[in-house]
Amino acid sequence: MLNFVTRIGVLGCAKIARRSVIPALKELHHDFKLVAVASRDANKANDFAVEFDCEAIVGYEEMIARVDIDALYVPLPTGLHFEWLSKAILSGKHLYVEKSFASTLAQSNLLVNLAAKYKVALMEGFMFLYHRQQTVVKDIIEDDAFGNLRHFHGCFSFPPLPVDDFRYDEALGGGVLMDAAGYPLRAVHYFCGDSLTVKSSSIFRDPKKGTSLWGSAYLSNGKGMGASIAFGFDNFYQCRYEILGSKAKITAERAYTAGPNFFSRLLLEDSSGSRVINVDKDNHFVGALREFRSLINIPRNRKEHYNQILKQSQSLEKIKDLSKSIDKSE
């Protein structure tokens, strides 16, 4: 029985922290105590501190050095991760990190090895995996009535962001590859296993800034099973996946961003027809933080998450590299 509370700090005042993650931490007050929020902007830190009844810290170094903080939630842009995650790991802080975990596979390898050495829990923030609809889908595709997996297709894309959004800045770790692409890619590995590897990809980049804006990729296990993913900024909104089996097909219509008051709708099709499966509302941010809490307290579970981070990073880098090869050939 766990009888202590994980003292946590938030490294950065991102919108997702204010809107979703900090409220989830507050809901889990028996598991987490929010100690402080840090920002390089004193006004932002103070606003968060007043709103969420915690301490304001200006700058990230002081937060990392605090001995009264066990863990950090890090919603900083990906391009800032390597510096601050390295320092946090060296200080012994457990880390729940917004996607994408690192800008390159080399950085991910270094950080994961460092975390293993310092016995630190790492978790990449793909919260959608902890929504009950994914458990329902997994149970369906593992049933004999679904048959063998044949193909996965997932898409996550949305209309233009504000022009000053950091995700349009590749230097900060922006671009669609480090953002929207990660969701359907992570779903591929979750549902289909790690045997699928990236075989081809294509990415459109802003001709002036060079920032990746939209694209697609294909993965295969070399034995006939494949997966296709599409992702994009400046696109028609899509947030879905469909999984084809030898006997049936399941589709999730709001796969990655089902809010805490949203009732999910799955469509199951087979030879007898189709039926809708309604899934009760769920807060996947709460579910993800419960998983993070378990990693802190059960060290033997950390290796699985280390491997997930590395597989995701490896696949993203392969998509990037293959798309460049195609661009050169064209």
- Catalytic residue at 249? no
As given in the structure block, the two tokens for residue 206 are 């802003």
Long-range contacts of 317-322 (CB under 8 A, 24+ apart): 317/104, 317/105, 318/197, 318/198, 318/201, 319/177, 319/181, 319/185, 319/198, 319/201, 319/203, 319/215, 319/217, 320/177, 320/201, 320/203, 322/198, 322/199, 322/200, 322/201, 322/217
* Distance, CA of 248 to CA of 270 (rounded, Å): 4
Angle between helices 132-141 and 182-192 (to 10 degrees): 40
Q: Which of 99, 249, 318, 320 is catalytic?
A: 99
> Do 52 and 34 contact (CB within 8 A), yes or no?
yes
Residues with Cβ < 8 Å from 327, sequence gap 6 or more? 203
80: closest CA among 4, 11, 157, 152? 11
Hey, which residues are catalytic here? Answer: 99
